[in-house]
Structure 1
Amino acid sequence: MKEKVKEDNYKVFALLSRYLNNTPDFINKEEIEEIVNCGVSYEYAFGLMLAAAFGMDTVDNVDDKELFNQYFSNMLHKLDANEYYDNPYYKNIKIPTIKINNSELKYEKYKPFEGFVCNDIIRTEEGRQIPQVGFFQTEFMFPAVLENDRIWMTITPNEIETMKEAVDKAFGNVLTFGLGLGYYAYMVSEKVNVESITVVEKNQDVIDLFNKYVLPQFSNAHKIRLIQADAFEYAEQHMSKEKYDFVFTDLWHDVSDGMDMYLKMKKFEKKSPDTVFMYWIEQSILCYL
């Protein structure tokens, strides 16, 4: 059974990877609405269309039917755009369209029914690893930083959901590796039990964009200290001396480029035994280790 679960995990991840990387907007509104009108949920209709696109026979093929039931019902989520637009950062921080050297600040969008990763992987007791894929019924705009015309940093539902715990648990003097658009720094700065936030960021262009266009909108900008440095060099040479209470690391784009950096940063924990450490998408990274 264990080997079968591993095979199922691999199959689902392979299928989803091709879909999300190549044709995330494959499912169109008219077709999915037609299925929903038959009395099923949007998630179920989305799953049926996705399974069909993967070449799965969920009616007569026993293995395909089991795979659909084990994964798809817990994998797909119709999200409420208003819930995310009501997020404090979305409500209070306005992002201009501006470019500095190779870095560009702008809004990107998800099309209606475009699929995207929306949360950490869920691991079941039997070892099934279930990706979390979301979609909206309507177009959804989100802030992004592009480097060399490639999306590098965003504030999407995925970032919001996967940072909730690290925001909730932050306290005292906080250190965060990775600036992005300052979402984590903003959310933590709004907490009364957080005294300061030190942000270590290597990319000077990103720092310049943030300092000029984003930080002035923070109501607690006085709590923020920015340091232009390599995260690993700072962790090795300065982190333990500063005696931070809480450290959050967000340096990677996804699991594929995050595993090595995650393991490298974990080694510095022993130098600060009284500090609480958390890492972005750690739950998903651990599924691959």
Structure 2
Amino acid sequence: MENISVIREENNKIFALLSNYLNHAPDFIDKEEIDEIANSSISNEYAFAVILAAAFGLDIVDNTRDKNLFNNYFDKMIHHLDVKAYYNNPYYKNIRIPTIKVGNSELKYEIYKPFEGFVCNDIVRTKEGRQVPQIGFFETEFRYPAILENDRIWMTITPNEIETMKEPIEQAFGHVLTFGLGLGYYAYMISEKDSVESITVVDNNEDVINLFLKYVLPQFENAGKITIVKADAFEYAEKHIHEGNCDFVFTDLWHDVSDGMDMYIKMKRYENLSPSTKFTYWIEKSILCYL
């Protein structure tokens, strides 16, 4: 049995290193560096991991602890993603996002540079208790839709959103209530399902709602299933969850784990108001790693 305190220490170290990398220099790895290492026997994925480990100051050759850290995390953490797999997503194929600004909200495409690292899925928790972040990269530039608030990226549709919404999309049925609009990715994907009869989306950002209603919703083939309600999510839940009018609830109100924990806990309290309703939450697996 591995020492729990050692695993906890390793978890903390990986998260601290990745936080610094993703926040300050996610694009520092380039093709030239990858090409120097990658060959017929060494993949771009492994080369990326080795370069990242070196940038973190890890000695994965002579230092046993660093080598163990690399072997325990990096192999399960770094993912070479296929651009085509995401561009073939139904939303990407069928919905076009214009560049437009309304109030403090701006609709546009952002990009990941080749070999830029980014979070691409929920944290994976191993049976030993290791918490392994999921970091992806593309070989080529990747364009993704985004909403900016005061020039800061607030809502996106990236591989992370696509991967972490797969389960709540697959599970949705009947009359669906979703808290958080964003660019309407979740609403679009479940509107394509025959098993979903109606979708009520609650959001309190008037600029985002107006952008969606004017430029995005008209492109939805099943737009008639969708109703947008401008309201505070928690006030709406307090007033309406107990009515039992929805079969399935999906909550996506947060930007990431750091600002999501408190809202997740708060929204969970409303579950007992409608025992027959199925409740799901964006990046719940990652949030639970911190609780």
How big is the shift at 1:39? Answer: 2.5
1:221 maps to what in 2? 223
How big is the shift at 1:30? Answer: 0.8
Aligned residues between the structures:
289
For residues 61-114 of structure 1, give each alpha carbon's deviation from its aligned partner in whole angstroms, at most 9, with x where no partner exists. Answer: 000000000000000000000000000000000000000010000000000000
Measured in 2, the distance between the counterparts of 1:55 and 1:179 equals: 41
2:158 maps to what in 1? 156
Specify every segment of 5 or more residues in structure 1 that has no aligned partner in the other structure, as ranges: none
2:201 maps to what in 1? 199
2:212 maps to what in 1? 210
Matched, 1:63 2:73: no
Measured in 2, the distance between the counterparts of 1:6 and 1:237 equals: 41
1:259 maps to what in 2? 261
How big is the shift at 1:38? Answer: 6.2
> SS of the residue aligned with 2:14?
helix
How big is the shift at 1:33? Answer: 1.5
Measured in 2, the distance between the counterparts of 1:240 and 1:140 equals: 43
Q: Which amino acid aligns with 2:20?
A: R
2:117 maps to what in 1? 115
Q: Which amino acid aligns with 1:101?
A: G
**TM-score, scaled to structure 2:** 0.99
How big is the shift at 1:37? Answer: 2.3
2:94 maps to what in 1? 92
Match of 2:135 among 133, 158, 163: 133
> SS of the residue aligned with 1:106?
strand
2:7 maps to what in 1? 5
1:165 maps to what in 2? 167
Match of 2:242 among 237, 240, 243: 240
How big is the shift at 1:43? Answer: 1.2
Measured in 2, the distance between the counterparts of 1:3 and 1:35 equals: 34
2:273 maps to what in 1? 271
Measured in 1, the distance between the counterparts of 2:5 and 2:55 equals: 26
How big is the shift at 1:239? Answer: 2.1
Specify every segment of 5 or more residues in structure 2 that has no aligned partner in the other structure, as ranges: none
RMSD across aligned positions (CA): 0.6
C-alpha contact (below 8 Å) 1:243/1:272 kept by paired residues: no
Measured in 2, the distance between the counterparts of 1:72 and 1:13 equals: 12
Measured in 1, the distance between the counterparts of 2:36 and 2:163 equals: 30
1:45 maps to what in 2? 47
Q: Which amino acid aligns with 2:59?
A: D
Match of 2:17 among 10, 15, 40: 15
2:148 maps to what in 1? 146
**TM-score, scaled to structure 1:** 0.99
How big is the shift at 1:222? Answer: 0.2
> SS of the residue aligned with 1:175?
strand
Measured in 2, the distance between the counterparts of 1:37 and 1:106 equals: 37
